[in-house]
A and B are shown apart, each in its own frame.
Chain A
Amino acid sequence: MTAPAAGEAARIAEQAARASYGKLVAILALRDRDIAAAEDALSEALLAALTVWPRRGVPDNPDAWLVTAARNRMKNAARAGRVQRAAAPEIERRLGFADPGAALPDDRLRLMFVCAHPAIDPAARTPLILQTVLGLDAGRIARAFLTEPAAMSQRLVRAKLRIRDAGLRFALPEPEEMPARLDAVLDAIYAVFGQGWDGWDHPAAPDALTGEAIFLARLIAALMPGEPEPQGLLALMLYCTARRAARRDGDGGFVPLDRQDARLWDRSMIIEAEGLLGAAARAGRFGRFQCEAAIQSVHVQRPLTGRLNLAALRTLYDLLVRHTDSIGARIGRAVVMADAGEVDAAAAELGALGDKRVARHQPWWVARSHVAALAGRPAEAAAALETAIGLTDDPALRAHLMARLAALRDGTRGGRG
Chain B
Amino acid sequence: MQFMLMFTEPLSEFSRRTDPAEAADYWGGWNAFIQAMTAAGVIVKGDALQPPHTATTVRVRDGVRRVEDGPFADAKEQLGGYFVIEVPDLDAALDWAAQAPSATSACVEVRPVLPMSAPPA
Binding site for B on A (CB under 8 A): 81, 84-86, 88, 90-91, 94, 119, 165-170
Contacts and interface: CB of A to CB of B under 8 A. Distances in A.
B88 A169 contact: yes
A86 B115 contact: yes
Label chain A's interface by main secondary structure: loop
Nearest to A33: B89
A90 B88 CA distance: 8
Contacts of B117: 84, 86
Contacts of B88: 90-91, 94, 169
B89 A81 contact: no
B90 interface: yes
Given A86-B1, A90-B88, A119-B90, A166 B112 contact: yes
Given A86-B1, A86-B115, A167 B90 contact: yes
B112 A167 contact: yes
Nearest first, the 10 closest Cβ-Cβ pairs linking A and B are A169-B91, A169-B89, A167-B90, A86-B115, A167-B112, A168-B90, A167-B1, A167-B89, A166-B90, A81-B120
A323 B36 CA distance: 41
A405 B1 CA distance: 63
B89 A168 contact: yes
Nearest to B111: A166
Interface string B85-121: 0001111111000000000000000001001010010
B7 interface: no
A167 B93 contact: yes
30 contacts: A81-B120, A84-B117, A85-B115, A86-B1, A86-B115, A86-B117, A88-B1, A90-B88, A91-B88, A94-B88, A119-B90, A119-B94, A165-B112, A166-B90, A166-B112, A167-B1, A167-B3, A167-B89, A167-B90, A167-B93, A167-B112, A168-B89, A168-B90, A168-B91, A169-B88, A169-B89, A169-B90, A169-B91, A169-B92, A170-B89
Interface residues of B, number: 13
Interface of B: 1, 3, 88-94, 112, 115, 117, 120
A118 to B, nearest CB: 8
Nearest to B92: A169
Contacts of B3: 167
A165 B90 CA distance: 10
Nearest to A167: B90
Nearest to B116: A86
Contacts, number: 30
Nearest to B120: A81
A119 B95 CA distance: 13
A170 B93 CA distance: 14
Nearest to B87: A167
A111 to B, nearest CB: 15
Given A88-B1, A119-B90, A167-B1, 8 more contacts: A81-B120, A86-B115, A119-B94, A165-B112, A166-B90, A167-B3, A167-B112, A168-B89
Nearest to B1: A167
User: Which of A90, A167, A170 has the most chain B CB within a 10 Å cutoff?
Assistant: A167
Contacts of A84: 117
Contacts of A119: 90, 94
B67 to A, nearest CB: 34
Contacts of B1: 86, 88, 167
Nearest to A94: B88
Nearest to B94: A119
Contacts of B112: 165-167
A311 to B, nearest CB: 47
A391 to B, nearest CB: 42
Nearest to A90: B88
A86 B1 CA distance: 9
A96 B112 CA distance: 23
B3 to A, nearest CB: 7
Contacts of B120: 81
A95 to B, nearest CB: 11
A86 B118 CA distance: 10
A88 B115 CA distance: 11
A84 B115 CA distance: 9
A168 B3 CA distance: 12
B103 to A, nearest CB: 15
Contacts of A81: 120
B89 to A, nearest CB: 4
A85 B117 CA distance: 8
A90 B86 CA distance: 13
B42 to A, nearest CB: 14
A37 B90 CA distance: 20
Contacts of B89: 167-170
B63 to A, nearest CB: 33
Contacts of A167: 1, 3, 89-90, 93, 112
Nearest to A173: B91
Contacts of B91: 168-169
